[in-house]
Each structure stands twice: as C-alpha cells, then as structure tokens.
Amino acid sequence: MKNLKLTRLTVPEVVPTAQYELITPEIAAEYLVKNTRNYRKLSQAKVSVLTRELLAGEWLPSTQGIGFDTNDVMVDGQHRLWAIVQTKISVMMLVCRGLVPVVKNKIDVGNKRTFGDLTGLPNVVIASVRVPFRAILSGNGRFGILKGKPASTSDLTFMRKYLFGKLGKLNEEMAKVCRNTNGILNVGIRAAIALSIMNGTCSKKEGMDTFNTLVFLRKNAKGGFVNGSLLEREEAEKRLPLLLRSLIKKIEIGVTPMYDQDKGVYYDVSETPRELATKLMFLTMQALDSTMNDEENFVSPCHATVVETLNLK
C-alpha cells in the first residue's frame, strides 16, 4: 500500500467568524454601502423573488446570509439585503466576517436547486402546472403582474399553492398513469385536462377517462403506436369528442392549428410553433368544451377562461 501524501492545511491569519444577527432595514442599508467590489450585477428579478418570500412570511434563517472579507468589503448577500430594505422587514440572518477576499470566486458556483429538488414533485407535474402561467404572463411566459403583484413561474413562493393545490394534484394523478409527454401527451394537453376539470367543463371522471384514452393511443419515441390494433384504436378514438380527435390527427402528422388575430380564424402550420404547450392547452380546452367540441374547427383562444379558472383576475 502506497503512503498517502498529506497536504498541510493553510491556517489564515484572521480566522473567519459567523453568527446570526437581526438584520433591520437600517442595518441592511448600512451593509450595502460596503458592497463596493461586487462583480455580479444586481438582479431585480431575484430581489423580487426574495421580496415576495419576505412578504409571505416564508423567510427562514439558513446557512445562506451575508459575508464580509478581511477588508470589510461585502462579498455575499446583496440581493437579500435589498429585499429587506424594500420590504422594511427585519429578519435573522447568518453574518460571516473575516473571509479572504478571493472567497467571492467560490460563492454561488454550484448547481442551483430545481423545483423538483425543493418540492419532490415529478418534472412533468411542474412543467404542466407552469403551462397556463406561461400563457398569460409576459417575458416568454416567465414573469408579469397578477393581482397587482409580481409573479413568476420560477418563483416557488408564487407557484407553491398551484403546485400543491388542485392544479398540481390533478397533474400528479395523470403523471402516476403515464409520465411520457410526447405528442398527444404534451404538458399543454395535461394542463388543459386539469383546468377543464377545475372549471367544470368536464367532470373529473370524464377528464381522467380522456387522459387514459390518450395514453392508450400514444406513440413511442420511434413513432409507432404503443397499444392495440387498428380496430382497438378506432374504438378508443370514438370515445373522444370530435374536435379532440381532429387535434390528435393534426398532432400525429406534425400540424398545429394557429390563431390569426387579424382574421379571427385558425390555420394549420407544419413547423413547431413557439410555446407549443400553451397553444395545445388552449386547443384542448376548446376540444373538451361541450358547447363546441362537436365542431370540426377551432374557434378562438380562451385566455379569459384560464384567468378565471385560476382566479388570477
């Protein structure tokens, strides 16, 4: 057995200290004056996320806090401090002092925890719950103002009640049946089924029966049908509304109905459109609506229905 070479630890001249302190808005403002050599630009989006966390009473002391180097220059914590200043809410926070200046190159360089890590929910559930919000929020569906307050699909404080509410639970039930999101099992179609159950367009049994039928009719990654003979598939399709069957046929041949705002009509495109999931959500919601699902053509997007269903007015 080879001798192991021991590396001698370097002990800094100044030993760092750490303790929890009550950070008031006044103290936060004083600490921000020491933020003089920060190579990271302030992100208002990140400050907004922390602000909502403070206002919601969800702030908890953790190992993350504020750091100062041996020159008393702040090397970590600017976003947290700005959130405290803006909300005027005092919180307990870990404050580290006496850090070597180069330590800033070691801060926030690891992998960020995902919603899946933080909630334990399958990614398909998280993606499906995000779809309706991407449809009604700006910035490619990632942020905006709802009920007079900032909202973002990347903000767990905002999304938590939807992930663990009825929208999330319905999508979780579908995920237990099948997690495949290809083709007719796209997350937008899953979101539409959940929303249609929630707003009473269809019963839960009808919605889940529809999803189970789509699972039966799905294709594999190579484009082949997974289950049943042609006759069995035809019988299964007959259980679906006419408009939904029309949408399935279009998806199978790579076509997506697109709405023309100027002419007020849908037209088919063969290329994959941006935000495909949101478009499929609106189409499927129409296909599940008994007032129009016997039609062969789509009418118009139902943005207002999504807003009303999720009480986002």
Q: What is the pLDDT of residues 285-300, one digit of tens each?
A: 999 988 776 667 788 7
Q: What is the pLDDT of residue 6?
A: 55
Q: How does residue 3 score in pLDDT terms, banded at 50, 70 and 90?
A: low
Token couple for 34: 């020491």
What pTM does this model have?
Answer: 0.74
Residue 1: is its pLDDT beyond 60?
no
Kindly report, residue by residue over 135-145, the tens digit of the pLDDT.
888 654 566 66
Give pLDDT, residue 292. 72
* Residue of 24, 14, 25 whose CA lies nearest to 72: 14
Q: What is the pLDDT of residue 34?
A: 92
pLDDT in tens, 90-138: 999 999 999 998 887 777 655 566 888 878 899 999 999 999 998 888 6
Residues 11-62 have pLDDT tens digits of 556 789 999 999 999 999 999 999 988 777 888 878 888 888 888 888 888 8
Taking alpha carbons only, the member of 125, 114, 43, 118 closest to residue 80 is 43
The token pair at 256 is 């997506």
Indicate the CATH number of 17-102 among 3.90.1530, 1.10.3470, 3.30.160, 3.20.20.
3.90.1530
Q: What does the alpha-carbon distance between residue 68 and residue 22 come to, in Å, rounded to a whole number?
A: 16
What is the distance between the alpha carbons of residues 97 and 20, in angstroms, rounded to a whole number? 12
Identify the residue whose tokens are 């941006």.
Answer: 274
- Helix ranges (H only) for 202-275 are 204-217, 230-237, 242-252
Which run of H or E residues covers position 287?
helix 276-287
With 90 as the cut, is the pLDDT of residue 197 above it?
yes
Residue that wins the pLDDT comparison between 198 and 101: 198
Residue 170: name the closest of 191, 194, 188, 186 by CA: 194
As annotated, the residues of the chain forming the CATH 3.90.1530 domain(s) are 17-102
Distance from C-alpha of 282 to C-alpha of 278, rounded to nearest angstrom: 6
pLDDT at 5: 58
pLDDT of residue 109: 59
**What is the chain's Cα-based Rg?**
26
**pLDDT for residue 157 is more than 80:** yes
The SS3 assignment for 208 reads helix
Please give the pLDDT value at position 138. Answer: 62
Residue 208 amino acid letter: M
Taking CA atoms, 130 is separated from 115, 136, 221, in Å, by 11, 11, 24
The per-residue pLDDT for 52 is 83
Amino acid at 199: N
Mean pLDDT of 169-181: 96
113 versus 172: which is more confidently predicted?
A: 172
pLDDT, tens digit, 9 for 90 and up, residues 59-77: 888 888 999 999 999 999 9
pLDDT tens profile 206-265: 999 999 999 999 988 888 888 878 999 999 999 999 999 999 999 989 899 988 888 888
pLDDT at 220: 85
- 78 forms beta bridges with none
Please state, in angstroms and rounded to a whole number, the distance separating the CA atoms of residues 192 and 107: 41
3-class SS string, 88-134? CCCEEEEEEEEECHHHHHHCCCCCCCCHHHHHCCCHHHHHHHHHHHH
pLDDT for the residue numbered 167? 97
Residues 129, 135: Cα–Cα separation, whole Å: 11
H/E segment holding residue 86 = helix 78-87
* Residue 280, CA atoms < 13 Å, CB-side half-sphere: 27
CA distance 128 to 192: 9
